[in-house]
Structure 1
C-alpha cells in the first residue's frame, strides 16, 4: 500500500499535463482549421486563378488561323488563293548557345548581315518563343531541319498566293505576313476574306511540344468568303500588255486602261502601269501598288468636249447644222488667249469634235451657260465617287466657272479633275443611249456555306440625255477616227469606232500653273452602231509624242480587236472581198484548157463522223484570224476562249478531237510579222 501511494502523480503535475495536452491539441486543431480554411479559400475563391496557373503549365490554347477566301475573275479563274506553308519558330531557352544558334539559322536561311543581327537580337530578347521565319520556302524548312538544333518548331500558316502574278495586281492588292489586307480588294474586303480564327485546347509535353486533344476543326468553319469580280482575265491581260507597250514606246512614266460594258456598267478590265508581282512583297514599290485607274484624278482634256456638245444639243441651244467661228486658231478672253493646234474658220459641231477645236468648244459652252455645264458634268457622274469599294477611290472636282476663261477651259477639260473610271463611265452613258449605269467591280461575295453576302447587278443611275442626242454625238465621234480626224490610228477594218482624243497639260503644284508635261488619252466605243465596250487608254507624261491620237489610240485598237473577238461580236462592216489572183498558165496548157472541178463548199459545222449524240469533233482553225475561228467554233457548238490577238497559232483540244458539245476550246493567237 505504501508503494502505491508513492507511485501516485501529484495533482499539480496532472493538471499541468492535461493543460499541455489541451494546448497541443488546440494548437494542432488551429493548424487543421487554418489548413481547412486555406483549402476552402483556394478551392472556392481562388479556383479560377489556380486553374489558369495549372493549365498554363501543361495546357495551351492553340490558334488555328483561318484560310483566307479566294478572289476570282468573272469566269472563275483564281486571282488570289491561300496555301498552307511552314513557319519556323524556336524556344531560345533550349539552345545551348543562342548566338551560335542564331548564326547557324542565318546561314541556313541565307540571311544578310542586318537580318542576322536582327534574328540574334530577337532570340536573345525572347524567353520561350521567337519566330525564326514566317511563311518559309520548302528548301528553307529542310535546311533548318538539317541543323538538328534543339527547341526548333514548325507550324502551318496560310500564305497568300497570286497564280496570275502581275495580272490585275493593283485591283486585287496584297496582304502582309500576318494575313491582313494592305491594299486593294484585299484591304477593302479584309473582314469577309479573313474568316474567323479558331482556338483549340492542347497539352504541352515535357519538351514543350504541342499535342492536340480536340482534333482539327472542319476547314469550312475557318475559311473566309470568296469574292468574284467582273474583270475578265483575258481582257485584263490584253489591256495590260497593250498599256505596257504604249507606256514603253512613249517613254512615259505611267498609264491606265479601263474597259467597260456600257449596257451593264461592269468593269471588264482595269489596268495600271507600272505593274508589280504581289508574290514578291519584299520588292514592292509604293508607286506600283497604287490603282491609278480608280484612285488617281487628272485633268481629262479634250475628251470632255463630247459632253459639252451633248448637253447643248439636249438643251436645244445647239443644232447639228449650227456653225461657230474658230477665230483662225487664237481667241483672246480678257488677258488670256485660247489656242487651237491648227487654224480653223467656221466649224459645225461634228467638225468641232472631229478636229478637237478648243475655241469652238468654249463657244458652245458659252451658249450652254455655266450652270448647265456644271449640272451636266455632274449628271454624267463627275465629281462623285462611283462606289467601286476600293479604298481611297478618287472623287475629282468641278469648280464653278465664275470667270469667262474658266468656263472656256472647263469646256475642254482643263481646270477640273476626274478619274479614269468616271470618264469611261460617262462615255458609257453616251454608248448606252444616254443612260448612265453604275460602274461596278464586285460581282458577288459568297461565304463558305453558300450564303451570298453581297451581289451587284446592273443598276441604272439616271438618264442624262435623250437617246436621240446620244446617238447623234456617237455618230459625230465616228468622224474622229477618219483620216481627217485626230485619231485615224484607232480605226478598225471590221468594226465601226467612235471615240475622242485628249491631250491635257499637267498642273504644276509648285508654280501654281501648268507645266510642259502632258496627259495623252483616247476613249472609244466599239462597235459604234451598238457599243459592246468602252475602252479608255491614258498615258501619263509621254515624251515621244504628246497627242492622244498618236500615243493612246494604237493601244485602244489593239485592245478593241482582242475584245471583239473574245466577246464574239459580229463585224459591223462587211469584209473586203478577196481578190483572186489568176494562176500562171503555160502556152501548151493554154491551148487545151481543162475546166477546173468546183471546190467543195467549206462546212461551217465540224464533221460528225464517229461522234455520238451530244459530241462533236473540234474543227481545225489553225492560221485563221480570231473572228473567223470564233464563228467556226460557235457553229460547231463549242465555246471559244482566245488568248492574244492575230491569227491562231495553237488550239487545245487539237483539231479532230472528240469532245462534248459546249466544251471550251482555247485558242492562242499571235500577230505574225
Structure 2
C-alpha cells in the first residue's frame, strides 16, 4: 500500500509536484525598458520619462498592524485609503492572501518616506512626462495600456513610432526564498533590456507655442467650432509646427485625434491656384489667357455656376480671375485642361492617397470614379473634392518649391545611445515646371497686393497666398451658414521661409476665409519672418 502510494506520488504525478515546487522557488521577472525621448528641433525634450514607484504590501513582513500601515501610506498620499477602500478591506479579511499590489504611482519623495517600513515593497516604473504640459499634444499622441495591459503608444508620434520608442524588455530568472526575495545562485540568468530609440523632430517649440495661442484666440474671436494651423519648411517638407484646437462648447476633442490628418474637407478657392498651375503646365492655357465668357453665369445642364457675390468680370485676365476668385473663369479653365489631365495632376500632387506623414491616424481621401461635367467644373474652385489639411498644404507647397512636391515629415532622425541610427529621407517628385510656378507666384503676389487682402498684409513682408471659403455638404446639399474658411500661402515669394495653411471651421462672426483665416495668417507671417 505504501509502495504503491509512493509510486503514484513520485512517478505518476511527480512532474506536477516538481513544477509546483519550482514555481515556488524560482521566478521569471520582466526588466522594464526606458521608452525613447521625443525632442524638438533644437534638442529640447517634448516628451521624456519620469521614474515612479508602485507600492505592494507583504503581510508576513509587517511589524505593525495593517491599519497603521495604511494610515502611514495615506498620510503621504491622502486619497490612497478612500481610492482603494474595497481592495484594502478584502486584503485585510483574507488571511490566505499574503501579497497585494496597488495600481497607483508614487513619486521619489513619497518613496523615500515609505520605503523603510517593513512589509512595504516598491517596484520601479516609468511614466511619460511632458515638460511643456499640453504643448503639441496633437502631434505627440499619448501612452496608455491596451486591452492586454501592455503599455503602448496611441496617435501621433507615440503611435506611429511605437515599435522604435518602446524598446525591448529584459528578463531575469532567479531563485527566491520563502518570502519571495531573490537569492544568489548559479542557476540565475538575465538578459539586458534594450531602451527605446529617441525621436528628433522638426518641431520648433517656440513657434508651436505661438500658433497654439493664436489659434485658440482666433477660434474664440470668430465663434468657430474649431481651427487648424500647419506650417511647413518649403524645401524639405519638414513640419515646423502644427496646431489643432476645438472649442469646448462645440465638441469634446479626442485625446489622440489630429484633425489636420484625420478630417477631410472641401478646400474651396484655395485650390484655384493649383488648377491654374495645371492648365499652364499642360499648355491648355497661356499666361496671357483672357476669359471672354466671364461676363455671364455659366450654365452646365441644369446647373448654373456663379461667383460668390453674383458679380461678373468681363474679359478677365488670368491674374484677375485669381484676384477676384472667379468661379466662372476657373470652370472654363478646367474645361480646357480636361478631366484626364486634371486627374493626372491631382494624383501627382498626392491628393489621391494619404500624404504619408509620420503620424498615426491619417485618413485616406475620398476617390471618385464618375465625373459628370458639373463635378469637374466645381472641382476647379475646390468643391466636390475631399482631402485633409496636410494634403492641401503639401500640394500648395509645390508652388513655393519650384514645382517639386516634397512629402511632409515630423521626425528628422532616430537615435540610440547618442548615435544616429535612422536618418529620415524626404521623398520628392517634380509636378510642375519651374517656369509654371514662377508664373503662378506672380499671379498670387498680384492678387495679395491688389485684392481685398492688401489691407491685412504688413508692409514689411511679401506673400504669395490665396483665401478660400467652402460650403460644407450636409445631407447631400450645401448650406450658407456652415463654411470652412481657409488661407494658404508662403512668404517671401522667392526662396520662401515657410508655407502655412490656416483653416477655421464654421466661423459664425464672419464666414469668409479672407476675413477670418487671413488676419490670423498675416499676424503669424509677420512674426515668422522675424523668427525664421
Match of 1:309 among 272, 276, 281: 276
Say if 2:34 and 2:167, in contact at 8 Å, map to a contact too: yes
Deviation at 1:186, TM superposition (A): 1.0
How far, CA to CA, are the matches of 1:163 and 1:275 in structure 2?
24
Residue aligning to 1:475: 442
Partner of 1:136: 106
Q: Which of 477, 494, 515 is the aligned partner of 1:513?
A: 477
Task: Give distance in 2, aligned partners of 1:365 and 1:540.
Answer: 27
Higher strand share: 2
- Counterpart of 1:189 in structure 2 is 161
- CA offset digits 1:284-320 (Å, max 9, x no partner): 9653531111222111111111111111111212122
- Counterpart of 2:458 in structure 1 is 492
Give the match for residue 272 of structure 1.
244
Q: Residue 364 of structure 1 corresponds to which residue in structure 2?
A: 333
SS of the residue aligned with 1:560?
A: helix
Which residue matches 2:400? Answer: 431
Aligned to 1:537: 502
Contact persistence 2:231–2:240 (CA under 8 A): yes
The CA distance in 2 between the partners of 1:34 and 1:112, in whole Å, is 51
Q: What's the CA shift string for 1:175-227, capped at 9, x where partnerless?
A: 015532122211122121111222224454554455687999898x4311111
Q: Give the corresponding residue for 1:242.
A: 214
Cα pair 2:142 2:155 within 8 Å, conserved? yes
Give the 5 Å matches for 1:189-338.
Answer: 189-202=161-174, 204-209=176-181, 221-274=193-246, 286-325=253-292, 327=294, 330-338=297-305
Equivalent residue, structure 2, for 1:382? 351
Q: What secondary structure does 2:362 align onto? A: coil
Match of 1:65 among 19, 27, 32: 32
Distance, in Å, in 1 between the alignment partners of 2:189 and 2:128 is: 22
Q: Which runs of 5+ in 2 are unaligned?
A: none
Instruction: Give the whole-Å Cα distance in 2 for the aligned partners of 1:39 and 1:241.
Output: 74
TM-score, structure 2 length as denominator? 0.86
User: Partners in 2 of 1:495 and 1:79 — Cα distance?
Assistant: 31
CA pair 39-400 structure 1, distance change in 2 beyond 3 A: closer
**In the TM superposition, what is the alpha-carbon distance from 1:258 to its structure 2 partner?**
1.3
* Alignment partners' CA distance in 1, 2:158 and 2:203: 16
Cα contact 2:30–2:171 (8 A) shared by 1: yes
Q: For 2:232 and 2:476, how far apart are their aligned partners in 1?
A: 34
* Aligned mates of 1:229, 1:122 — CA distance in 2: 48
Deviation at 1:130, TM superposition (A): 3.5
Partner of 1:458, secondary structure, is coil
Contact 2:411 2:424 in 1 (8 A): yes
Counterpart-to-counterpart distance in 2, 1:131 and 1:286: 34
Q: Residues 210, 438 of structure 1: CA spacing in aligned structure 2 closer, same or farther, 3 A cutoff?
A: same
Label 1:185 to 1:213 Cα distance change in 2 as closer, same or farther (>3 A): farther
What value does the CA root-mean-square deviation take over the aligned residues?
Answer: 3.6
Rounded Cα–Cα distance in structure 2 between residues aligned with 1:113 and 1:130: 14
- Structure 2 residue 129 is matched with structure 1 residue 157: no
TM-score (norm 1): 0.69
> What CA deviation, in whole Å up to 9, does each residue of 1:224-245 have, x standing for no partner?
1111112222222222222222
Task: Output one character per residue of 1:496-526: Cα deviation in whole Å (capped at 9) or x when no partner.
Answer: 2100111111122xx2222321111101111
Q: How far apart are residue 566 of structure 1 and its match? A: 2.4
Q: What pairs up with 1:504-653 in 2 under 5 angstroms?
A: 504-508=470-474, 511-515=475-479, 516-567=481-532
Bigger Cα Rg: 1
Deviation at 1:537, TM superposition (A): 0.8
| Deviation (angstroms), 1:401 | 5.8
- Residue 195 to residue 51, structure 1, CA distance change in 2 (3 Å): farther
Report the 3-state secondary structure (helix = DSSP H, G, I; strand = E; otherwise coil) of the residue aligned with 1:187: helix
How many residues of Structure 1 are paired with residues of Structure 2 in the alignment?
519
Is residue 267–residue 387 contact of structure 2 (8 Å, CA) maintained in 1?
Answer: yes
Following the alignment from structure 2 to structure 1, what is the Cα–Cα distance between the partners of residues 473 and 138? 25
Change over 3 Å in CA distance of 1:275–1:551 after alignment to 2: closer
User: How far apart, in 2, do the equivalents of 1:118 and 1:273 lie?
Assistant: 40
Change (3 A) 1:169 1:217: farther
Is the 8 Å Cα contact of residues 109 and 144 (structure 1) preserved in structure 2? Answer: no
Q: Are 1:355 and 2:320 matched, yes or no?
A: no
Distance 2:20 2:65 in 1: 30
- 1:648 is matched with none
CA contact (8 A) 2:462 2:491 kept: yes
Determine if contact 2:225/2:506 at 8 Å carries over to the other structure: yes
